[in-house]
Amino acid sequence: MPRNPLAIVAIVGRPNVGKSTLFNRYAGKRRVLVEDVPGVTRDRVAEEVSVGDRRVLLVDTAGLDPAADAGLAAAVQAQARTALAEADAILFVVDGKDGLLPADEALARTLRRTAKPLAVAVNKLDIPAHDARLSEFYRLGLPAIHPVSAQHGRGAWELLETLVAELPAESAAGSRPASDDAIRIAIVGRPNVGKSSLANRLIGAERVVVSEEPGTTRDSVDTRLESEHGAFVIIDTAGLRRPGRRRLVAEHGSALMALRAIERADVALILIDASEGFTDQDARVAGLVRRRGRAAAVLANKWDRVESDDARRVREEIDRRLRFMADAPVLCVSAKTGLRLERILPLARQLDAAARREIPTAALNRWLRDAVERHEPAMGQRGTRKRPIRFFYATQTRTQPPTFVLFCTDPASVRPAYRRFLENQLREHFELVGTPIRLRLRKRGESV
């Protein structure tokens, strides 16, 4: 079955109150750097987490840069406004050791405007004896004040479960009408690579403000497009800057906006500036799209600026840097001249079809039998004995992205290289181009 967009829970608060530590507690691993220095984590990090019987997308808004052009207070308010606009629920973190500070009160004034589920985590209350410090935080005028310890885990999961329980039913979160068959395309990339210009050329009208200055697009803008290739919704998103480069206050919200656009999209077009080559931040954007399970293509924009003698080198560099998602098509285009833009919508339809492909179980199991016969897995290790790994059958459990469960004798002993072999064979045999594939290995008799 196709996926529904996940509800987004944003963790907000002033710097150094423990947002990243709390995020890591929920994510179950140290996904972001944690130090006792304000603003050390400069990039939002998203993680899909299970809360009871529901999955949500948790976003760590992290410490804001105190050197932001408009000052820390304005940066905190920009962060809060973005969370209000883009998140489905908000977890407001304050520091129980520092006590209630004016920055907390200013942020609370902004957050009080929302009708979305909201909870306050009074962090660093490690033991019940510290709970007396809660009383001053009731002055914030916000409901649901909870004592937590991000470092030790006290009260953390109970708080998140309470907050998620207030979200609308999963089917309603970010859903769209069942009758709407338009393919939703998110145009994503770092600032100033030409996202708005591309959106305008595809739409055929100046519907999005275009500027030479990075960061002009502050919000996601949806525009419906009817074409000979069918119906599409073009989602133009704010640019994603690399860590440490978000100097404009408004850009502190761009990652959350882009993440929301990716979550709502069927297909992502990852736009890069071909004249600058494939950068580290381009790779980060592509990785975010892939982790969120979206079918994608890479558009090398501004190809008209690439000298003919350099074209081959630039293309080889893109292919080399994109090895982690080598199945994604690469199209060299120019939003300025219109070069190859006519190929984009047909390509988006092809990507969407691959992501939605439902493979009959009989065909899937014929493929599995042939693939294993072609290349048998290495022997599994059980104690001092080696045993052959046998695959029994496979089934598809969902689409967008295509997800498959393969049953075998010893899932833990299947090596990563063999998983990649199966994924590549599956992609090639069923033409699953440009879409992530999820393979789950289970013992026979286990639930899918």
The answer to whether 171 and 146 are in contact (CB under 8 A) is: no
What integer is the mean pLDDT of 393-399? 96
How far apart are alpha carbons 395 and 404 in whole angstroms? Answer: 6
Minimum mean pLDDT range among 100-104, 148-152, 234-238, 304-308: 234-238
Q: Which two tokens stand for residue 169?
A: 């039913």
Q: What is the rounded CA–CA span in Å between residue 120 and residue 143?
A: 8
Domains of the chain: 8-172 (3.40.50.300), 183-356 (3.40.50.300), 361-443 (3.30.300.20)
Residue 383's pLDDT is 54
Total residues belonging to the chain: 448
The answer to whether the beta carbons of residues 281 and 240 sit under 8 Å apart is yes
Tell me how crowded residue 354 is: count the other CB atoms within 10 A of its CB.
23
Least confident of 56-65, 124-133, 188-197, 231-240: 56-65
Average pLDDT, the chain: 83
At 332, the pLDDT band (50, 70, 90 cuts) reads: very high
Closest to 240 (Cα-Cα) out of 306, 195, 278, 201: 195
Give the Cα separation of 437 and 354 in Å (integer): 10
Residue for token pair 């899918």: 448
pLDDT at 65 over 50: no
Helix (H) or strand (E) holding 224: strand 221-227
Residue 27's contacts (CB-CB under 8 Å, 6 or more residues apart) are 47, 49, 58
Contacts for 141 with CB less than 8 Å, ≥ 6 apart: 108, 112
Average pLDDT of the residues in 28-56? 61
Q: Where are the beta strands (DSSP E) in 362-422?
A: 380-382, 385-387, 391-398, 403-408
What percentage of residues in the chain have a pLDDT greater than 70? 78
Quote the pTM value.
0.75
Give the pair of three-digit tokens for residue 252.
């502190």
pLDDT for residue 182 is more than 70: yes
pLDDT band at 347 (very low <50, low <70, confident <90, very high): very high
Q: Specify the pLDDT at position 317.
A: 93
User: How far is Cα 384 from Cα 311, in angstroms, rounded to an integer?
Assistant: 54
Give the pLDDT score at 217: 47
The answer, yes or no, to whether residue 131 has pLDDT greater than 60, is yes
Q: What is the mean pLDDT of residues 232-250?
A: 56
What pLDDT score was predicted for residue 445?
78
Instruction: Sort 142 into a burial class: Cβ within 10 Å, 0-12 / 13-18 / 19+.
Output: middle
Q: How many CB atoms lie within 10 A of CB 75?
A: 25
Per-residue pLDDT at 255: 62
For residues 44 and 51, the model is more confident at 51
Q: Are 331 and 347 in contact (CB under 8 A)?
A: yes
Per-residue confidence (pLDDT) for residue 283, from 0 to 100: 87
- Asked if residue 30 has pLDDT above 50, the reply is no
Of 26-30, 116-120, 147-151, 243-247, which gets the smallest average pLDDT? 243-247
**Tokens of residue 54, six digits:** 């529901």
pLDDT at residue 41 tops 50:
no
Task: Answer whether 234's CB lies under 8 Å from 199's CB.
Answer: yes
State the pLDDT at residue 238. Answer: 53
pLDDT of 384 reads: 53
CA separation, residue 189 to residues 105, 324, 385 (Å): 35, 17, 50
Q: Is the pLDDT of residue 250 over 70?
A: no
The CA-based diameter of the chain, rounded to the nearest angstrom, is 71
> 63-67, 218-222, 386-390 — which one is most confidently predicted on average?
386-390
Q: What is the pLDDT of residue 60?
A: 80
Q: pLDDT value at position 73?
A: 60
Cα–Cα distance, 270 to 256 (Å, whole number) = 16
3-state secondary structure of 386: strand
Pick the more confident residue, 58 or 242: 58
Report which of residues 224 and 69 the model is more confident about: 224
Cis peptide before 329 (omega within 30 of 0): no
